[in-house]
Structure 1
Amino acid sequence: MAEYLNAATLLELAQRAEQRAAASCSCTRTPLDGWQSQPLSLDETQFEEVGTLAPQDDPEATFSEYLPGKTNYWSADAPIAPRYFPYNRCAVWQCTLCSRLYLRYTEGGGYFVDRRIRAVQSALIEDVALPD
Structure 2
Amino acid sequence: MTQYLNAAMLLELARAAQQRASAPCDCTRTPLDGWQSQPLSLDETLFDEIGTLMLEDDPEPTFSEYLPNKTSYWSADAPIAPRYFPYNRCGVWQCSSCGRLYLRYVEGGGYFVDRRIRAVRAELIEDVPLPA
**TM-score normalised by the chain length of structure 2:** 0.99
Structure 2 residue matching 1:105: 3-state secondary structure: strand
Quick one: distance in 2 between partners of 1:111 and 1:81?
28
How far did 1:4 drift? 0.1
Per-residue deviation, 1:47: 0.5
Contact between 1:22 and 1:99, CA under 8 Å: does it hold in 2? no
In the alignment, the residues of structure 2 paired with residue 108 and residue 47 of structure 1 have an alpha-carbon distance, to the nearest angstrom, of 22
Q: Which amino acid aligns with 2:8?
A: A
- 2:36 is the alignment partner of 1:40: no
Q: Percent identity among equivalent residues?
A: 79
Quote the Cα distance in structure 2 between the aligned partners of 1:63 and 1:11. Answer: 22
2-structure distance, mates of 1:38, 1:66: 22
Describe how 1:112-131 pairs up with structure 2 within 5 A: 112-131=112-131
- SS of equivalent residue, structure 2 residue 84: coil
Q: Structure 1 CA distance, aligned partners of 2:121 and 2:89? A: 18
Structure 1 residues without counterparts, runs of 5 or longer: none
**Unaligned stretches of 5+ in structure 2?**
none
CA shift, 1:22, in A, is 3.7
Within a 5 Å distance, the mapping from 1:7-26 to structure 2 comes to: 7-26=7-26
Match of residue 52 from structure 2: 52
User: 1:36 touches 1:118 (CA, 8 Å); kept in 2?
Assistant: yes
TM-score normalized by the length of structure 1: 0.99
d(CA) in 2 for partners of 1:11, 1:22: 18
